[in-house]
Amino acid sequence: MSETLTTKSGGSRLLIYSHDSFGLGHLRRCREIAHALVEAYDDLSVLILSGSPIIGSFDFRPRVDFIRIPGMIKLSNGEYTSHALDIAPEKTLELRAAVIREAARIFDPDLFLVDKEPLGLRGEVRATLELLRERGARIVLGLRDVMDDPDALQPEWKRKRAPAALRDLYDEIWVYGLPQICDPLEGIDLPDSVRRKMVYTGYLRRHVSTTPETAHALVGSDPYILVTPGGGGDGDDLVDWVVRAYESDPGLPYRALVVFGPFMQADQQQAFRQRIELLPNVEAITFYNQMETITAGATGVIAMGGYNTFCEILSFDKPAIIVPRTRPRMEQSIRAARAQELGLVRMLDPDDGRLARVMATAIRQLPQQSRPSDVVVPGLLDGQDNVKRLAGKTLGSARKPPIRFVEAGGS
């Protein structure tokens, strides 16, 4: 484990948990928050607990470190299996829970920030929550702007006993978005005491952290449209639709840069590369750990519309076409529809035939499309400032008196 775990210091400490069974969204959001907070508080150390298999591909600022817990993958039937270890899934979960609790015991954070899952993957964080609550740490749940369709989320959270966890174990709930877009807990039966814990921060503004020369070496200096399915694990349909548009309309005036994402299957990437090699104005790369740089340099963006990509579109004021997924969650579709209603982006319905000419026309129109800044939404990109302010209430004050946790019944 890192030096942070073995050396007791007088500074403040933040522990962040992210289950990261698939994709990049949770990890990138947690990393962004960690970097913003160490920039704001020069005596703060941050430790991230993550199951992401590619967390080591990212750079971290001084005073931010991570522990990679054993990975889990969600199967098509909804069950989880070990990502790399040849052991039973329940043993992997037991190992993850033990690593998380022991790291928390030694690191002894002042603030524990849990991303999205109130009790962690299959309840693996409950023991850690109870330990840190007894010690007087402040415990916060961080939620993206949209979770899922309420009809799907309510039974899921009831089954996971999430409402009781929010009531009994959490001090605050930070929503990294705005109510004008979505109430992520809409439709869930929650007591008023839990609703009062919710604070909308606004979206997390992104910044370019590499030099322009680095980006030019990768993408060149000619204008380009960025095509990104995020992590890429479920991005085949988006990439295929864009490639078919360029195949059907060779005269499209804008160069496309396709970033497959690290989780797109290798054979699928190869199939796309063979088609792209025949197109003079389309290029492709697998992964780049500074997507902010590529997004900032783009003429426009075509994306599935996950949380991080949406934040980048807003932050760098890019005209964007969103083609959201609708399975296994409606999150992207809900976000894109609400954002289109506000005039922030344009959405193309992925279930409306995916005709090549429809995408080609959208690509031609993209650079002339409205930008997010054409719409005034108060507090839209205030997320980091508000997270700094909210965290500062804990990091700049004495720890709460320790309490003895007594498990309550009901939900």
Least confident range of 20-34, 166-180, 287-301: 20-34
> The tokens of 34 are what?
């960690």
Residue whose C-alpha is closest to residue 234's, from 171, 328, 146: 328
Q: What is the mean pLDDT of the chain?
A: 89
Residue whose C-alpha is closest to residue 209's, from 48, 373, 365, 61: 61
Which architecture does CATH list for 3-205+382-395?
3-Layer(aba) Sandwich (3.40)
- Give residue limits of the domains in the chain: 3-205+382-395, 212-374
Asked if the bond preceding 328 is cis, omega within 30° of 0, the reply is yes
At 212, is the pLDDT very low, low, confident or very high (cuts 50, 70, 90)? Answer: low
Quick: pLDDT tens for 96-120.
999 999 999 999 999 999 999 999 9
Listed in sequence order, the residues at least 6 apart from 319 whose beta carbon sits closer than 8 Å to its beta carbon are 300, 301, 346, 366, 367, 368, 369, 370, 371
**Do 212-374 and 3-205+382-395 fall under one CATH topology?**
yes
Cα 55 to Cα 20: distance, rounded to the nearest angstrom: 10
Quick: pLDDT tens for 119-140.
999 999 999 999 999 999 999 9
SS3 212: helix
Fold of 212-374: Rossmann fold (3.40.50)
Report pTM: 0.90
Region 158-180: mean pLDDT is: 95
- Burial of 130-142, coded b for 16+ CB within 10 Å and e otherwise, reads bbbbebebbbbbb
One-letter identity of residue 296: A
Q: CB of 70 within 8 A of CB of 92? A: yes
